[in-house]
Amino acid sequence: MKIKGFFTRPVILLILSAILSALPLTFSFLYPLSWISFVPFFYVLVKHSGNKLRCAIGRGFLFGFIYHICIYYWFLWFYPLDYVDFTKTSSIAVVALAWFGISAVHGALWCIPFICCHIAKKVSNSCLFLSFAAIVSSIAAQKLTQLGELSFPWARVSLGQYKATALIQSASLFGIDGVDMLILGINAAVAICIIYPPKKRTIVAAVAAVVFLSNLGFGLIRINTTSNDKSLTVMTVQASVPQDEKWASDGDATCYDIYSRLTKENITEQVDLVLWPESAVPKVYKSEKSLKQYKKLSKEIGVPILAGVLMKTDSFSTNNASLIDQNEVVASYSKRQLVPFGEYMPYQKTFSKIFPFLADLNIIEDDYISGDSTAIMQVDGGAVGNIICFESIYPSLTRQSVLDGAELMIEITNDSWLKDSPAMQQHLAHGVFRSIENGRYLVRSANSGISAVVDSRGNVIHQLDANKQGVITDTVYFCDKETLYTKTGDILFPICAVVVIIWYIVLLIKYLINKHISMRDS
């Protein structure tokens, strides 16, 4: 009995739930775990949310902090930061600050569902209402990580499902928010079944089973109903140059030699487009005229090259994807969502005073300037949209590119900072969701992995793993049809939020009326 009592304590249940919920994001074969791992979380929310507010906040932070600590432990792979000349001591300080700091900030947001349920329970003990409020506020906790200059919406509940494509096709309807909500809803239903008496459990279990099977059925139908139209044969080059070598004094020459050699050795007559990843050559170019090497190579192989290029013109710097076709730069896209501390200093006045050494993390001298256009590019066969690295974790950016006419998405990225950490797979997983959400093929070109080709249903049909040198050549297809998600965007969350608010107001009015009647009768 003592052992049973220990494992049913709210704190222990939350710690267990946080650890189990984080595991699928590191070990994708554990994806089924996500469908039950939040059960203890919802059990505590529904059963124990009426305690003191201070207690609710503490439990929310405990769950959120442990959950993110377990997900973000890949920050350890950043050590040592020798490519920016940090000492071992400074490297430890930066890695610890990133790991614990981000986990604490994102963990604090998980206080929101506990606070909401604490407030809601004052007017109602309805398990259905409390669970629905908890689901919606949990989505809010994740979405809030997109706000501010420290924006970093990396950890999503459903991210570990990216290989189980039949289960996540509903992202084409309501985006990753919809899949998160579905997973949390199934977990909440299981928790309610534990709390409810036997007679009521049957209805909840039946509804949950119907929802889950309907989602699976939709997914199985959708992944088998692709329509391929115009095609393009793309060759993506992965040089896999380590960070310390890449950013050495002669790194630009080394990288160019490797990329150009791999390109020449593997080019065929069938290839229509060559991809080089983000900052493939670590050189800051002053103008498009200075891209002579790229133009010469494109002319030599007779194929356009889409490459990541760092530019500094008119005293400001941009991170670009430039389409170079023999003698000219045909089009250029500037990264819209920059990486805090890597490409600019967030809250500069504050952080430069408290943590002045963080400024050294930026490889170039000045902050980058973000782009403001999707800059859709025309290639043989159709229109191409671009996202660069960090941008793949923002659903709205890919969606906007598709709305502006992109029939194929290309992601160039520099993930060599991540080495062979779990973050490599997590970053790829975001790209899989962007493909499903918008029904577009995605070609991913990475410096050191994971380069991949993802079809319009999110299946990774070809990939080159981390820290491997080579090329991927595949035929991909353009698509001009829009999914429901592309048309409507993240509409599900605001609708559900409004439902929760209205539901709460109705319950509050009912509670006040009953209280008034009770006081009058007494």
* pTM assigned to the model: 0.94
Query: For residue 173, what are its two tokens?
Result: 């309807």
Fold of the 231-335+371-487 domain: Nitrilase/N-carbamoyl-D-aminoacid amidohydrolase (3.60.110)
Residues of the chain with pLDDT under 50: 1
pLDDT tens, residue by residue, 189-240: 999 999 988 878 899 999 999 999 999 999 999 998 877 779 999 999 999 9
pLDDT tens, residue by residue, 417-455: 888 999 999 999 999 999 999 999 999 999 998 999 999
Is the Cβ–Cβ distance between 118 and 49 less than 8 Å?
Answer: yes
Q: Where are the domains of the chain?
A: 2-224+491-521, 231-335+371-487, 337-369
Is the Cβ–Cβ distance between 265 and 469 less than 8 Å?
Answer: no
Please classify residue 448 by burial: count the beta carbons closer than 10 Å to its beta carbon, then call 0-12 exposed, 13-18 middle and 19+ buried.
buried
**Hunting for tokens 């080019």 — which residue is that?**
267
Peptide bond into 80 cis (omega under 30): yes
Say how far apart CA 505 and CA 518 lie, in whole Å.
20
Terminal CA-to-CA distance of the chain, rounded, Å? 43
Query: For residue 240, what are its two tokens?
Result: 């896999």
DSSP state letter for 166 = G
Pairing of strands 316-325, 328-334: antiparallel
Q: How many CB atoms lie within 10 A of CB 146?
A: 14
Pairing of strands 231-238, 273-275: parallel
Phi, psi values for residue 151, rounded to 5°: -50, 125
Strands, DSSP E only, in 359-448?
377-379, 382-388, 408-413, 442-446
Say how far apart CA 494 and CA 492 lie, in whole Å.
6
Say how far apart CA 346 and CA 340 lie, in whole Å.
6
